Amino acid sequence: MIKVVIIGSGNVAHHLIKAFSESSEIEIIQAFARNKAALSNVLESHQIISDFRELKKADLYIIAVSDDAINWVSEQLLFTDRLVVHTSGSAAIAEINSKNRRGVFYPVQSVSKNKSVDFKSIPIGIEAENDSDLKTIEMLANSISEKVFQMDSSQRKALHVAAVFVNNFVNYMYQIGSEICTENRISFDILKPLIEETVKKIDAISPKEAQTGPAIRNDKNTINAHLEFLLDENKKNIYKILTQSIQENGKKL
C-alpha cells in the first residue's frame, strides 16, 4: 500500500481524503491542518495533527493548499529527500522546496466541500522529476481515477488557464443569467435544458462549430436591443467584449 500524508484542510484535501479512504491501495496515515476540527468529519482525531514536527514517515506527502502557500508549506517540512507533491494547476513543480523530491498531482476539477465527487471520471495530471517518483504518483492517481495524464508544468499551466475559461468564467455567465432572470421574475430553471444541450453538443462537434447566437450571425438589431436592455454597465461591457470576440473569431472560419 502507498502510505500518504495530506497537508491542508480545504476542499481538495477533503475530497482526496474521502477518495483515498475508499481505495484498498492507499493508506492515509496522517493529515495536517492548522485547525484540526476542519478535518474531523473525514478522519479520526488521532490522524490529524497541527504541528509539522509530528509528521510521520510516508511514501508521499500531498500539499493541498492555496497556490501562494505551497512554497511556504514545503519549507516547513523538517525532513529531506522524500516525495512531496502539490495539487495546483498553475503552480510550477519548482514551487516545492528542492530539499525534497518534487512532483505534482493535479485533479482537473472544480470541487466544493459539500458536494460529492466521483474521482473515477476526474482527469489527474501528474509530474515528477524522476521515473521512480512518477511511477509512485501514477499508481496513486490510478487508484482513484481512470483518466491519468503525464504533463509538464508548462502544459499544466495552459490546461489550468483553459479550465478557468470553461469553468470559472462560464459559471460567472450562469450567475449573470440567473441575476437577469431573478430581476425579471423568471425561473432560471427554464434555461437549464439549454445549458445541458450546449454541454452535450461539444461531445459531437467542436466548440467553434457549435457557436450560435446573434454575435456569430452579426445580428446587429438584436445585439443593439440587448445592449439597450442591459442597464448594468458591467453586464453591458461583458456583453460587448464577448460579442466582439465571437465576431472576430468567426471571421477566421
**pLDDT tens readout for residues 100-140:** 999 999 999 887 777 778 889 899 999 999 999 999 999 99
Which residues lie below 8 Å from residue 219, measured CB to CB, with a gap of 6+? none
What would the pLDDT profile of 76-92 be if each residue is shown by its tens digit?
A: 999 999 999 999 999 99
**For the whole model, what pTM was predicted?**
0.82
Interior/surface letters 62-87, b for 16+ CB within 10 angstroms, e for the rest: bbbbeeeebeebbeebeeeebbbbbb
Quote the pLDDT of residue 252.
Answer: 53
Closest by Cα among 85, 102, 76, 78 to 12: 85
Strand partners, 2: 26
CA 146 – CA 223 distance, rounded (Å): 44
Percent of the chain clearing pLDDT 70 (strictly above): 98
Closest by Cα among 81, 80, 69 to 34: 69
User: Exposed, middle or buried by CB within 10 Å (0-12, 13-18, 19+), for 154?
Assistant: exposed
Residue pair 31/39 in contact (Cβ under 8 Å)? The answer is yes
